[in-house]
Structure 1
Amino acid sequence: MRNKITFLFVTLSLVRFLGFSQQNYELNSGWKTLSIGEVDAKGEELSKRSFSIENWKNATVPGTILTTQLNNGEIPDPFFGMNNEQIPDIYDVGRDYYTYWFVKDFKESAKKDEQVWLNFRGINYSVAIFLNGKKVNQEEYKGMFLRKRFNITKFLAENGQNRLAVIVYPAPHVGNPNGGQGGDGTIARGVAHQYVAGWDWIQPIRDRNTGIWDKVIIEKTGAINLKHPHVVTKVPGKRLPGEKQEPATIIFTAEVENPTSKAVEGILSFKIADQIIEKEVNVAAHAESLVALPEFEVKNPKLWWPSGYGEQNLYDAKVEFRIKNKTSDKESLKVGIREIQTEWNAHTRSKQIFVNGQPIFIKGGNWIISDAMLRFTKERYDAEIRFHRDMNLNLIRIWGGALPERPEFYEACDKYGMLVIQDFWMSGDCNGRWVDPKKKDDQWTRRQYPDDHQLFIKSAADAVKMLRNHASLAIWCGGNEITPPQDILHAIKDEILPELDGTRWFIDYSNSDEMSYNFKGGNGDGPYGIQEISTFWEERTWPFNSEVGSVGVGDAVSLKRFLPKENYTVPIEYEGTEAVKDPVWTYHKYIDYGNSLEPYGTPENMEDFAKKAQLVNYDQYRALMEGFSAHMWDWYTGSIIWKTQNPWTALRGQMYDYYLDPNACLFGLREGSKPLHIMYNPVSSDVYLVNNGFGAEYDLMLGVKIYNMEGEEKRLTQVFSYIEGASVKKMFSLKKPLDTLAAQEGLFLKLEIKDRNQEVLDENFYWLPDSTGTYSGLQHLAKTTVKAEVETVAENKFKLKITNPEENTVSFFNRISLENAETGERILPTFYDNNYFSIVPGATKEIRLESPESKVKNLQISIEGWNTDRMLIPVN
Structure 2
Amino acid sequence: MLDATPLTDGWTLRHDGAELPAAVPGCVHTDLLAAGVIPDPFLGPNETDVAWVGRREWTYETDLAPSPTGHEQTDLVFDGLDTAAEILLDDRPLGRVRNMHRSYRFHVTGLSGRLTVRFASAYTEAEAVRERLGDRPNAYPEPFQYLRKMACSFGWDWGPTLVTAGIWRPVRLERWSTARLARVRPLVTVADGGRGRVELHVDVERTRIEADLTLEARIGDVRAVAAVDGTSGTVRLDVPDVELWWPRGYGEQPLYDVELTLTHNGTPLDAWHRRIGFRTLELDRSTDAYGTGFTFVVNGTRLFARGVNWIPDDVFPSRITRERYRERLTQAAEAGVDLVRVWGGGIYESEDFYDACDELGLLVWQDFPFACAAYPEEQPLRGEVEAEARENVVRLMPHPSLVLWNGNNENLWGFRDWDWEGRLAGESWGEGYYLGLLPRVVAELDPTRPYTAGSPWSGSWDHHPNDPAHGTHHSWEVWNRRDYAEYRANVPRFVAEFGWQAPPAYATLRRALPGEEPAADSPGMLHHQKAEDGNGKLERGLARHFAVPEGKPGADFDRWHYLMQVNQARAVAAGIEHWRSHWPVCAGTIMWQLNDCWPVTSWAAIDGDGRPKPLYHELRRLYADRLLTLRAGDDGLVLAAVNQAAEVWRAGLRLRRMSVDGTVLGGATVQVTAFPRAVADIRVPRELEPVGAKEFLVADVDGLRAVHFPVPDREIPYPKPEFEVSVAPGTVTVTARTLVRDLLLQADRLAPGARADTGLVTLLPGEHVTIGVDGWTDPDATAARAALYCVEPTL
> What TM-score does the superposition give when structure 1 sets the normalisation length?
0.77
Of residues 467, 472, 486, the one that matches 2:401 is: 472
Q: Is 1:334 the counterpart of 2:314 in the alignment?
A: no
Q: Do 2:257 and 2:274's aligned partners in 1 also have CA atoms closer than 8 Å?
A: yes
* Residues 306-353 of structure 1 deviation map (CA, whole Å, 9 limit, x = unaligned): 222222222222222233444322222111211221122423422221
Match of 2:698 in 1: 749
What one-letter code is carried by the residue in structure 2 that aligns with 1:58? P
What are the residue-to-residue correspondences of 1:185-584 with 2, within 5 Å? 186-205=143-162, 208-221=163-176, 223-236=178-191, 246-258=194-206, 260-261=207-208, 263-281=210-228, 289-294=231-236, 296-347=237-288, 348=290, 349-374=292-317, 375-427=319-371, 429-431=372-374, 447-448=376-377, 451-482=380-411, 485=430, 487-489=432-434, 492-493=437-438, 495-514=440-459, 518-519=466-467, 525-527=474-476, 529=479, 532-536=483-487, 538-540=488-490, 542-566=492-516, 568-571=518-521, 583-584=526-527
Cα distance change of structure 1 residues 305 and 56 upon mapping to structure 2, 3 Å threshold = same
CA distance in 1, matches of 2:741, 2:85: 60
CA drift at 1:571: 4.1
Amino acid at match of 2:447: G
Q: Distance in 2 between matches of 1:864 and 1:627?
A: 39
For 1:659, the equivalent position in structure 2 comes to 609
1:800-851 CA-to-partner distances (Å, cap 9, x unmatched) read: 5x544587865952336489x9xx3216xx6x76433456666675767789
Q: SS at 1:322's partner residue?
A: strand
> Residue 119 and residue 844 in structure 1: after superposition, are their counterparts in 2 closer, same or farther (change >3 A)?
farther
Mark the CA change 1:807 to 1:447 in structure 2 (over 3 Å): closer, same or farther: closer
Aligned-pair CA distance for 1:163: 5.2
Cα separation, 2, equivalents of 1:209 and 1:729: 52
Structure-2 separation of matches of 1:715 and 1:154: 88
- Amino acid in structure 1 at the alignment position of 2:7: L
> Any gaps of 5 or more consecutive residues in structure 1?
1-20, 39-54, 157-161, 238-244, 284-288, 432-445, 573-579, 754-759, 791-799, 852-857, 872-876
Superposed CA deviations along residues 586-605 of structure 1, whole A, max 9, x for unmatched, are: 55764432355455554352
Aligned residue among 120, 128, 146 for 2:78: 120
Match of 2:418 in 1: none
CA 1:197–1:174: 2 relative to 1, 3 Å = farther
C-alpha separation in 2, matches of 1:23 and 1:581 = 51
SS of the residue 2:474 aligns to: coil
In structure 2, the residue corresponding to 1:263 is in which secondary structure?
coil
Distance, in Å, in 1 between the alignment partners of 2:248 and 2:66 is 44
For the structure 1 residues 698 and 608, does the alpha-carbon distance in structure 2 shift closer, same or farther, using more than 3 Å as the test?
A: closer
Matched AA of 1:814: L
| Alignment correspondent of 1:813 | 743
Find the counterpart in structure 2 of residue 81 from structure 1: 44
Tell me how far apart the structure 1 counterparts of residues 773 and 273 of structure 2 sit (CA, whole Å).
33
Partner of 1:5: none
Q: Which amino acid counterpart does residue 84 of structure 1 have in structure 2?
A: E
Cα separation, 1, equivalents of 2:454 and 2:78: 29
Which residue of the partner structure matches residue 720 of structure 1? 671
2:96 matches 1:149: no
Report SS of the residue matched to 2:404.
Answer: strand
Q: 1:826 aligns with which of 753, 764, 772?
A: 753
Q: How many residues align?
A: 746
Distance 2:779 2:298 in 1: 40
Amino acid at match of 2:62: K
On the 8 A contact 1:335/1:471 being kept in 2, the answer is yes
Contact 1:567–1:582 (CA under 8 A) maintained in structure 2: no
Mapped contact 2:365–2:402 kept (Cα < 8 A):
yes
Name which of 736, 760, 776 aligns with 1:836.
Answer: 760
C-alpha displacement of 1:690: 0.9
Shift of 1:492: 2.9
Whole-Å Cα distance in 2 between the matches of residues 340 and 210 of structure 1? Answer: 38
Amino acid at match of 1:692: Q
Q: 1:494 to 1:630 in 2, by over 3 A?
A: closer
How far apart, in 2, do the equivalents of 1:213 and 1:257 lie? 26
Tell me if the contact between 2:261 and 2:272 (Cα under 8 Å) persists in the aligned partners: yes
1:27 aligns with 2:7: yes
Mapped to 2, the partners of 1:727 and 1:217 lie a distance apart of: 52
Alignment check: 8 A CA contact 1:185 1:430 kept: no
Deviates more, 1:61-70 or 1:521-530: 521-530
Instruction: Pick from 687, 695, 718 the counterpart of residue 777 of structure 1.
Output: 718
Displacement after TM superposition at 1:450 (Å): 6.7
Q: What is the CA–CA distance in structure 2 between the aligned matches of 1:114 and 1:774, rounded to whole Å?
A: 80
Partner Cα distance (1:805, 1:485) in 2 = 58
Q: Provide, for residues 753-779 of structure 1, a one-character-per-residue CA deviation record: whole Å limited to 9, x for no partner.
A: 3xxxxxx5xx2354747687534326x
Measured after TM superposition, the shift of residue 661 of structure 1 is 0.6
Is residue 571–residue 585 contact of structure 1 (8 Å, CA) maintained in 2? no
SS of corresponding position for 1:509: coil
In structure 1, give the amino acid aligned to 2:295: Q
**Residue of structure 1 aligned with 2:594, choices 644, 657, 663:** 644
Q: Which residue matches 2:422? A: none
Q: Secondary structure at the match of 2:336?
A: coil
Alpha carbons 1:626, 1:673 under 8 Å: kept: no
What CA distance in whole angstroms lies between the structure 2 residues aligned with 1:809 and 1:256? 70
Give the secondary-structure state (helix, strand or coil) at the position aligned to 2:725.
coil
In the TM superposition, 1:578-597 aligns within 5 A as: 583-584=526-527, 586=529, 590-591=534-535, 592-597=537-542
Letter in 2 for 1:540: N
Deviation at 1:656, TM superposition (A): 1.0
> How big is the shift at 1:452?
2.7
Percent of pairs identical after alignment?
21
Q: Distance in 2 between matches of 1:108 and 1:715?
A: 86
Q: CA RMSD in A?
A: 3.7
CA distance in 2, matches of 1:109, 1:600: 70
3-state secondary structure, aligned to 1:594: helix
2 CA distance for matches of 1:666 and 1:396? 15
CA contact under 8 A between 2:722 and 2:736: conserved in structure 1? Answer: no
SS of aligned partner of 2:538: coil
Alpha carbons 1:783, 1:868 under 8 Å: kept: no
Given that residues 152 and 346 in structure 2 are in contact (C-alpha distance below 8 angstroms), is that contact kept between their aligned partners in structure 1? yes
Q: Secondary structure at the match of 1:606?
A: helix
**Which has a greater percent of helix?**
2
CA distance in 2, matches of 1:785, 1:726: 40
Residue by residue, what CA displacement relative to the aligned partner does 1:184-241 show, whole Å, maximum 9, x if unpaired? 4533122223233333223422xx222212222344555432233222222356xxxx
Alpha-carbon separation, structure 2, partners of 1:410 and 1:174: 30
Q: 2:638 matched to which residue of 1?
A: 686
Q: For the residues of structure 1 that align with 2:215 and 2:781, how far apart are their CA atoms?
A: 59
TM-aligned CA deviation for residue 33 of structure 1 = 1.1
Query: Normalised by the size of structure 2, how large is the TM-score?
Result: 0.84
Q: Is the 8 A contact 2:64 2:114 kept in 1?
A: yes
